[in-house]
Structure 1
Amino acid sequence: MLTPGRLSLARKRRGLTKKALAEALGVTPHTVLRYESGDISPPAEVIDRMATLLDFPVTFFCSPDIDELVADAASFRSLTAMSARDRDAALAAGAIGYLLSDWLDENFSLPPADLIDLSGETPEVAARSLRQEWGLGEQPIKNTVHLLEAKGVRVFSLAENTRTVDAFSVWRGDRPFVFLNTIKTPEHSRFDAAHELGHLVMHKHGGPSGRRAEDDANRFASSFLMPSADVLSRIPRVHTLNQIVEAKKRWAVSVMAMIYRLHALGILSDWQYRTFCIQASDRGYRTSEPFGIPREHSIVWQKVLATLWAERTTKTDIADRLAVPLEEIENLLFGLAGALPVVVHPQSARGSLRIV
């Protein structure tokens, strides 16, 4: 028996419309609509064709319902530039991330969410308040992914081959999720992670939406990664772009993010801001970074995969258990798990992971 929501999810994950799937199956679009609404169930041979066309195991389509992500509940950074197809494909990847997260909860004990509700605060106040709550002081953050994971946020990657899907975040009950596209620079991903953290703490219960919400999250990320007191004490004045390029190393941010922050703090005049933005663009700093940093990896998935490897359990075994293509597991961990094995702490064996 077909589970309607799973057909819809697999179709969206592959970027197909109902009409396109109908043509491939040799049925009418109305028939596909009735399949996805649960009005009728396709015969076994049609489910087999679906599995082949969509490259999902047959068992995927007949398993229990999955919690779906809806666009209104997720924060996307590039709403105006994003097509509905790209948005739906990313949301479908997020739903598979839910499956993987549930499997993780069944096998390991991870930290509960430790985020505070900062709705109603200005982005700058929210950033300072969260730093104070977490005891971060004014020091630069060494690894944003590690920090989010230590505070109970589930971090997954998005292997979407499009620059319109930067990242998105969502609350699922009491568990916060962040999905990061790793197609851009490591500095950009750090900012994306902080941006989504801003959404999680400021917009859990609604509030500003659209461009206003995105601007607030950008201001939060800028303040969170580059605390005002630290920046002002180290860069009281700027005369050249090279000073900014050198300074950005401390906070591991992009040149453009550093320029924005210096302007927001009044260190750069409007004229300097425009001049340095033009110079940075001419040097190609909008798409690449001087003195680039290594990409941040997930400590959770490094330890999980090391533990499983010791038990001779592979990512293929996880994919089989969840009835999803191995590629989908790889996509969710791409750029996060890292390539090097890690030593598992004695307290980090299966059943408990110590995140520090």
Structure 2
Amino acid sequence: MFEINPKQITFARVRRRLTKAQLAKELGITSRSLQNYETGATVPDPETLAKMAKLLNFPQQFFFLDEDMPEIREHAVSFRKLSKMTDAMKFCTFSAGAIALKVNEWIEERFNLPSAELPDLSDLEPEEAAATLRRIWGLGNAPIPNMIHLLESKGIRVFSLAEETREVDAFCTWYEGKPFIFLNTIKSAERGRFDAAHELGHLVRDVYTMQHGLTHGPEMERQADAFASAFLMPMASVTANQPPAYTIKYLMKLKHYWGVSLVAIAYRFNSLGLVSEWNYRNLCIEIAKHGYRTNEPEPMERETSQLLTKVLDILHSRKQGRREIAESLSISTDEINALTFQLTRLSVVSGNSITTPKLKKERPKLRLI
């Protein structure tokens, strides 16, 4: 006889950002009853369990899983704008991340994914760290065509954030020696690229801080921003591409070249001392006047996961898909969609063909460009 795992009830409630009182009210029970369910003192009757599963959008079998969900500890996570997050939002985000860890585990059991190739650059200042990482990865000073593809090719697991966590820009963490980055897909594509580079900065410069629970402060975030700016717009490239006049018209060309926002370009030129404070202030005023701080002009196409696309393509060739992943993990397909950039059955990236292995027991190795 399978027994209900009370920790799964707590996990599902937190995932939906509900307090005990809120969930109890929806279920038509007392808060004390729900408290007893979550401590294991009592168990819900079949009717209450069915209602709970429907309200929380988790299959009933999820509550009977013996193995607890992975735990993402707060000290091991780097959040952007942490001070603006409520505890409910924070722990909802942790639970979404925990589901992603299970999805990644499911994928790794069936596919050979790239191993992490991240050096420890914690002893370097942001500018030097960005230049060093570019050199190690053989990127030179060229623009980065796709940040997510680059991160995945270096063994970083990249997932999207769910709708419930829309206030979260991005976050990263290490789990069992693997680096993870989570990106908000509601933001602009340009903002998403910068967020990805920002989190990369944390992964290569703040490993000790994240692993030992040290304080994450504003200075740490400022340095991650500086790393992202230098990584996406190398100093040599910025110097070589100074516009004849610092106007929106000229910056638009550079925006498409580097794949960053107008605000980020203006700030980068200013931080390197290549534009006067007077010109910089006027440029910022003009950008704000046109509404380009919140609505990026001539927006880029949003980047998405190459790795997850290839995984889903191969599964599709086997007449499988998200449903099989969800059923295997006892979660809803909505969770899979939220974490995988809402990917539909897409054509393979960049025209590279995928050869489905003849022996299904073998784990195919995914080649990422």
Aligned pair in 2 of structure 1 residues 338, 265: CA closer, same or farther (>3 Å)? Answer: farther
* Aligned mates of 1:298, 1:248 — CA distance in 2: 22
Tell me how far 1:75 sits from its aligned partner: 1.3
Q: Deviations over 1:95-117 (max 9, x none)?
A: 11011001001110001111111
Aligned residues: percent identity? Answer: 44
* Aligned mates of 1:338, 1:216 — CA distance in 2: 36
* Aligned mates of 2:264, 2:345 — CA distance in 1: 29
Aligned length: 355
* Aligned mates of 2:307, 2:317 — CA distance in 1: 16
Alignment match, 1:8: 10
Tell me how far 1:121 sits from its aligned partner: 2.0
* Aligned mates of 1:290, 1:150 — CA distance in 2: 30
Which residue, 264, 267, 271 being the options, matches 1:264?
A: 271
Which residue, 336, 341, 346 being the options, matches 2:355?
A: 346
1:179 is paired with a residue whose SS is strand
* Aligned mates of 2:24, 2:303 — CA distance in 1: 41
Tell me how far 1:237 sits from its aligned partner: 5.6
Conserved? CA contact 2:304–2:341, under 8 Å: no
Alignment match, 2:227: 220
Alignment match, 2:178: 175
- The amino acid of 2:368's aligned partner reads I
1:168 is paired with a residue whose SS is strand
Tell me how far 1:167 sits from its aligned partner: 0.8
Which residue, 77, 80, 91 being the options, matches 1:74?
A: 77
Single out whichever of 150-159 and 70-79 deviates more from structure 2.
70-79
Which residue, 61, 64, 67 being the options, matches 1:62?
A: 64
Alignment match, 2:161: 158
Tell me how far 1:45 sits from its aligned partner: 4.1
Q: CA RMSD in A?
A: 2.0
2:119 is paired with a residue whose SS is coil
Alignment match, 1:186: 189
Alignment of 1:1-356 (within 5 A): 1-63=3-65, 64-160=67-163, 163-206=166-209, 209-235=216-242, 238-335=245-342, 337=343, 340-342=346-348, 344-346=353-355, 350-356=363-369
Q: Deviations over 1:27-72 (max 9, x none)?
A: 4434434433445544444433321221110111111211122333
TM-score normalized by the length of structure 2: 0.90
Aligned pair in 2 of structure 1 residues 108, 97: CA closer, same or farther (>3 Å)? Answer: same
Tell me how far 1:173 sits from its aligned partner: 1.8
Q: Deviations over 1:203-233 (max 9, x none)?
A: 1110661211111111110000000011101
* Aligned mates of 1:184, 1:2 — CA distance in 2: 39
Q: Deviations over 1:243-291 (max 9, x none)?
A: 2222221101011111111111111222222221121111111122223
- The amino acid of 2:318's aligned partner reads E
Aligned pair in 2 of structure 1 residues 273, 163: CA closer, same or farther (>3 Å)? Answer: farther
Tell me how far 1:82 sits from its aligned partner: 2.3
* Aligned mates of 2:161, 2:150 — CA distance in 1: 19
TM-score normalized by the length of structure 1: 0.93
Tell me how far 1:347 sits from its aligned partner: 7.9
Conserved? CA contact 1:155–1:177, under 8 Å: yes
Q: Deviations over 1:117-157 (max 9, x none)?
A: 11232111111111111111111111100000000001001
Gaps of 5+ in 1: none
Gaps of 5+ in 2: none
2:324 is paired with a residue whose SS is helix
2:82 is paired with a residue whose SS is coil
* Aligned mates of 2:286, 2:243 — CA distance in 1: 21
